[in-house]
Amino acid sequence: MKVILIMVQSINGKVRLINDKNQSWSSQEDKENFSKITKEIGIVIMGRKTFDEIGKPLKNRMNIVLTGDPEKYQKLEKAYEGSLYFTDEKPESLLNRLEKEGYEKIALIGGPTINALFLEKNLIDEIYLTIEPVIIEGDLSLFSYVQGVHRFKLNNVINLNNDAILLKYQKVDKGRKI
């Protein structure tokens, strides 16, 4: 089981522009790349606030949304039967369950609160990080909090267009929990 964090950030390290729910500051190429990679992986895990911002499950992918109150979303789950699940499972048990269900890769797609939850448990194996050539009035960075040092190795640099680059990192530290 491999967990790949997929995010886009600005030159000044922000992942959200204040008062912009459509992520208008990121490139079309990044959006297309995100769509392609997550469809290949087949399953995304996200926080409830990120889901609220997207507004509906991502098509042709299994959507798992972390929330402290999964019961609240039973109707919505039913409406998208089979492709949308809300859960309050701990990251390790969620990944264990998904691995048993046959998933080999998981796309972790934010936001910073959920990213930090997985990072602190040492559960992020790879990071696909797009850097857009913009400086934005942002308030959030990749992780809402970080403890200590987490080392990654740069595996690949891909030009998404003339300006945006995609950096592919792989975790160096051993000690994966599952």
Q: Is 99 in the site for ligand NAP (CB under 6 A)?
A: no
Whole-number minimum distance, CB 110 to ligand NAP, in Å?
2
CB of 29: closest distance to ligand NAP in angstroms? 14
- Strand arrangement of the beta sheet that strand 2-9 belongs to: 84-87, 62-66, 43-47, 105-108, 2-9, 126-131, 165-171, 152-159
- Interface pick for ligand NAP out of 111, 118, 132, 136 (rule CB under 6 A): 111
| Residue from 3, 5, 8, 98 in contact with ligand NAP (CB under 6 A) | 8
Residue 48 interacts with ligand NAP (CB under 6 A): yes or no: yes
Tell whether residue 140 is a contact of ligand NAP (CB under 6 A): yes
Residue with tokens 């972390």: 66
For residue 102, cis peptide bond before it (omega within 30 degrees of 0)? no
Identify whether the C-beta of residue 114 lies closer than 8 Å to the C-beta of residue 108: yes
Residue 146, amino acid: V
Residues at the contact surface with ligand NAP, assessed by CB under 6 A: 7-8, 15-16, 46-50, 53, 66-69, 88, 109-114, 117, 140, 144
